[in-house]
Amino acid sequence: MLLENFESAYLDGVTQKIGDYSIQYRELYTACYDQIEGYSKSSVQSHLLGGLATINKAASGAASKIPIVNKSQINETLLEKSNRLKEFGSRRTEQSMEKLLCVQTSTVLPFIENINAINKLYNESMDLLFDKENIYFGLSESST
């Protein structure tokens, strides 16, 4: 707009370029998202949580073989804690990835729509209708 170039071909080129940049952004964002997701699943914290869950599960299995302990609540508690650790790790990763999805949106559509509106205002015949409060813009029948 600062260039004051309102030629239809130029404005069409600008909207095409914005659309292309939007596609490139989405592709790059998706690649980054996938890589971050892979890193989060293979992080030290994820491995520690997985390891602790495995240790608890193994301890539960060992405790179930001891006759006195088998009848107590220890075995079930260890197994329950093991499952909770696994769920916590996967829930933590899912929450992090959901935050990334929330900010992913490329909001270029309003820019493209406004450039297209300017293109119509400057390069097509329009009818202007107005009343005491409003001005209405419409395409002329000759331009449709």
Report pLDDT digits (tens) over 41-58: 665 455 565 666 666 666
Distance CA 52, CA 68 (A): 24
Tens digit of pLDDT for each residue in 78-108? Answer: 556 666 766 766 677 777 778 777 776 768 8
Supply the pTM of this predicted model: 0.55
- Distance, in Å, from the CA atom of 30 to the CA atom of 48, rounded to the nearest integer, reads 27
